[in-house]
Amino acid sequence: MRIDVTPILNQAGSSMPFDLVEEIKAPDDDLKIIGPVTARGVATSLGKEIYVQAHVTGSTELICSRCLTPFTKPFDVDCEGKFTESGTEQEESEEDAVEVFPLDGASCVLDDMIGHEIILSLPMKPLCDPDCKGLCPVCGSNLNEGECDCRKAEDDISPFGRKLLEAMEERSKKNGRPKET
Ligand SMILES: [Zn+2]
Ligand SMILES: [Zn+2]
């Protein structure tokens, strides 16, 4: 996704709005963007540099951390970035926390700026649903799709079976402990 800023480059103070709907290239293989993204914003000329602000919406595909099922999550982020010829800040100033990107000729390529912001907005442990039931620890079936037989079977267990199960659990717990020397 690029904006041709020829009309405002070297025209400090002038700005141009943009409104784009396009597919973008994710900066990271872990980020899966589904379909085109919408970016609305303004590019403002600082002379040789261009400051870009954009409101970006679209959808990503995430993997639920509980049931491991891919799901689509919409995103809605505000991005900003500064585009310079070298892609680096000319004068280092500490308050300026805006990320800097290289100008591509007289164009600002927004993909990285948008991608970085999307990654920051994503949850550390994505959930397909706040009430996701996850996977059965015994048979691995997705409990959102229905109860498996494991829990039912546990309820039907005879007192003898229950004792055996507890003993087995106890043993596996012990085996899990580091060996005493
Ligand atoms: Zn889930
Ligand atoms: Zn199960």
Which residues place a Cβ less than 5 A from the ion ligand 1? Answer: 64, 66-67, 128, 132
pTM of the model: 0.75
Amino acid at 116: H
- Assess contact for 119 and 28: CB atoms under 8 A: yes
- For Cα atoms 15, 21, 26, give the angle at the middle one, nearest 5 degrees: 100
pLDDT category of residue 181 using cuts at 50, 70 and 90: very low
* Euclidean distance between CA atoms 92 and 62, whole angstroms: 36
Query: What is the tens place of the pLDDT at every residue in 126-149?
Result: 999 999 999 998 899 999 999 888
Amino acid at 59: S
- Assess contact for 60 and 118: CB atoms under 8 A: yes
Which residue's entry shows tokens 């039912």?
152
4 membership: H or E segment, kind and range: strand 2-4
Q: Is the per-residue pLDDT at 155 higher than 70?
A: no
pLDDT: is 139 or 171 the higher one? 139
Q: Is the per-residue pLDDT at 91 higher than 90?
A: no
pLDDT value, residue 65: 95
Pick the ligand that lies closest to the CA of residue 70: 1
What is the whole-number distance in angstroms between the Cα of residue 62 and the centre of ligand 2? 24
pLDDT value, residue 5: 96
pLDDT category of residue 96 using cuts at 50, 70 and 90: low
What is the whole-number distance in angstroms between the Cα of residue 62 and the centre of ligand 1? 10
- Assess contact for 58 and 38: CB atoms under 8 A: yes
Structure tokens belonging to residue 50: 């261009």
Segment 75-100 shows an average pLDDT of 81
What is the whole-number distance in angstroms between the Cα of residue 55 and the centre of ligand 1? 29
What is the whole-number distance in angstroms between the Cα of residue 67 and the centre of ligand 2? 13
Q: For 113, which DSSP code?
A: H
- How many residues make up the chain in this entry? 181
Domain boundaries, the chain: 2-121
Task: Calculate the average pLDDT of the chain.
Answer: 87
Closest CA relative to residue 132, chosen from 73, 178, 88, 78: 73
Segment 148-153 shows an average pLDDT of 74
* Euclidean distance between CA atoms 52 and 90, whole angstroms: 17
Pick the ligand that lies closest to the CA of residue 145: 1
pLDDT value, residue 30: 82
Closest CA relative to residue 51, chosen from 94, 12, 105: 12
What is the whole-number distance in angstroms between the Cα of residue 40 and the centre of ligand 1? 32
What is the whole-number distance in angstroms between the Cα of residue 142 and the centre of ligand 1? 8
Query: What is the tens place of the pLDDT at every residue in 33-79?
Result: 999 999 999 999 999 999 999 999 999 999 999 999 999 999 999 99
What is the whole-number distance in angstroms between the Cα of residue 142 and the centre of ligand 2? 8
Q: Is the per-residue pLDDT at 82 higher than 50?
A: yes
